[in-house]
Structure 1
Amino acid sequence: MTTTPSFDPPAEVIAALQALDDLVIEVEVNSQDLHSIEAAVLKVEAAIDATVACYRGHPLIESTVAAIKAECRAGLYEQADATQAARNPGIGSNKPTLH
């Protein structure tokens, strides 16, 4: 009979993942100002880093942090694009136009 080895993460990894799951970050973004968007991204990334600072070094934590940061960055830019598109219909959209 073959048994599968257990790959339970260490307690500190579980604690870090729980801390990230519980993290709530509020930012304000001016969708017309790239500096505002980037400042929001930096604020989110700093909050994530601070949340897991004492848990850094484990590969699962590092990959999770990288994935969350990328997802947050993309989400902030997508939200800014959507807000901009709602304010200026037709500008910057990929819809074909008649000329």
Structure 2
Amino acid sequence: MTMQIKIDGLDKFKRQLNEAGRAFKSLDGEIAKVNIVPGDPISVQAAIRQMEAAIDRKASSYRGNPLVENIVKQLKERYRAEIARRGRG
């Protein structure tokens, strides 16, 4: 006797994984070039906004995918911290 079990949501999860893979490829490598003037908080904030906007543009096709949204959040935090560190001069 063969028993088949259907797992609800598996197709949705596979689609999310495929989308996440494409999003990760688009976010790999250079995202944007930003200019920072060390010691100038206005230039640091502008650079952070530019970087976050660039990340959002690259990931915009995958909005609503929780896997992508999680990595986007992490990338923004990482770049925000790095830009702030470099901006301290």
The two structures share one fold, judged by TM-score above 0.5: yes
Q: Secondary structure at the match of 1:11?
A: helix
CA distance in 1, matches of 2:30, 2:21: 14
Is the 2:17–2:67 Cα contact (8 Å) retained in structure 1? no
Aligned to 1:41: 48
Letter in 2 for 1:78: R
CA distance in 2, matches of 1:23, 1:52: 14
Report which of the two structures shows the higher radius of gyration computed on alpha carbons: 1
TM-score w.r.t. the length of structure 2 is 0.77
Identity %: 32
Task: Give structure 2 stretches of 5+ with no counterpart.
Answer: 1-9
Is the 2:36–2:44 Cα contact (8 Å) retained in structure 1? yes
Aligned to 2:36: 29
CA-atom RMSD in angstroms? 1.8
User: 2:18 matched to 1:18?
Assistant: no
Deviation >3 Å, runs of 4+: 6-9
Counterparts of 1:1-99 in structure 2, within 5 Å, are 10-81=17-88, 84=89
Looking at secondary structure, tell me which structure has more helix per residue.
Answer: 2
The number of residues matched between the two structures is 77
Task: Give structure 1 stretches of 5+ with no counterpart.
Answer: 1-5, 85-99
Higher relative contact order (CA 8 A, sep 6+): 2
